[in-house]
């Protein structure tokens, strides 16, 4: 199993980061992609990926941080992207739910990162919330210039999923699907996702699966819980867990070009 979305730079892991990674590996997670959400965290994620075995990272600016994008940002990301640990540009995209940065700032930073990924020939690791139509409109002109793209932590509608899949995107599924309050629509559309376009992730320390039994003592999510998410996804898709693990691992190798 490969966790394509882990916020290992989070302060929630400051006291036991080594143990978190060790528990993940012991639980059968054989690869981790550490998410970079701004310039500093992208640098931190790259350093952590260099420190730990079986780890890689992304380098990008999240829509929340788009107001900080400037003419130097692309240069910082470009330098990071040249390191062996960084295998994707992102987390980038649009988030019109909270608008911590204005829509215009988000669109500027997103487009600049798509251009950078195209120049470097790298896949993009993307975020979209309450911005589907504009997200697709900005992304579409770049798709034939990119080697691949994943919309991580997908929580959209069936039509949103089809729109993305028809454009060749991968979809990352998290423990959101294990939430009986808000994850039922996502659970129902799981069979729509072709097996060769599905990726799995925890987005830890966020989105602890609500249906874990016994419940973890802490509300903090960990990559060690990826197996539970994969098991539930396989169940709802009507597939064998081992087969799905192997398939999603192959998808990771194809999209990110990593060997694990």
CATH at 243? 3.20.20.140
pTM for the complete prediction?
Answer: 0.97
- Which residue segment(s) compose the domain that 129 sits in? 2-256
Supply the pLDDT for residue 105: 97
In sequence order, the β-bridge partners of residue 172 are 199
Which residues of the chain have a pLDDT value below 70?
Answer: none
* Separation of alpha carbons 203 and 236, rounded Å: 20
In sequence order, the β-bridge partners of residue 199 are 172
pLDDT tens across 26-69, in order? 999 999 999 999 999 999 999 999 999 999 999 999 999 999 99
Supply the pLDDT for residue 104: 97
Supply the pLDDT for residue 71: 86
The residue behind tokens 């990301």 is 77
Q: Please give the span between the terminal C-alpha atoms of the chain, in angstroms, as a whole number.
A: 10
- Mutual angle of helices 73-81 and 39-51, in 10-degree steps: 10
* Separation of alpha carbons 183 and 131, rounded Å: 19
Number of domains in the chain: 1
Supply the pLDDT for residue 188: 96
Supply the pLDDT for residue 204: 98
Supply the pLDDT for residue 173: 98
């Amino acid at each position: 199993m490969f966790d394509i979305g882990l916020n290992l730079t989070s302060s929630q892991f400051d006291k036991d980061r080594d143990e978190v990674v060790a528990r993940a590996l012991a639980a059968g997670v054989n690869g981790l992609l550490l998410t970079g959400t701004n310039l500093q965290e992208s640098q931190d994620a790259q350093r952590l990926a260099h420190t730990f075995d079986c780890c890689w990272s992304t380098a990008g600016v999240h829509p929340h941080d788009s107001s900080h994008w400037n003419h130097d940002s692309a240069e910082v990301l470009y330098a990071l992207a040249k390191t062996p640990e960084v295998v994707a540009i992102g987390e980038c995209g649009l988030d019109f739910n909270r608008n911590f940065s204005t829509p215009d700032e988000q669109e500027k930073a997103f487009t600049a990162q798509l251009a950078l990924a195209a120049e470097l020939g790298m896949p993009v690791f993307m975020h979209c919330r309450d911005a589907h139509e504009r997200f697709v409109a900005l992304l579409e002109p770049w798709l034939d210039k990119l080697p691949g793209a994943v919309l991580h932590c997908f929580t959209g509608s069936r039509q949103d999923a089809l729109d993305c899949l028809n454009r060749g995107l991968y979809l990352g599924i998290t423990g959101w699907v294990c939430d009986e309050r808000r994850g039922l629509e996502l659970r129902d559309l799981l069979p729509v996702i072709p097996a060769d376009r599905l990726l799995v992730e925890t987005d830890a320390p966020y989105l602890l699966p609500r249906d874990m039994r016994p419940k973890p003592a802490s509300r903090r999510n960990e990559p060690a819980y990826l197996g539970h998410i994969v098991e539930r996804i396989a169940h709802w898709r009507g597939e064998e867990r081992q087969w799905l693990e192997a398939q999603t691992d192959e998808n990771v190798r194809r999209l990110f070009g990593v060997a694990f």
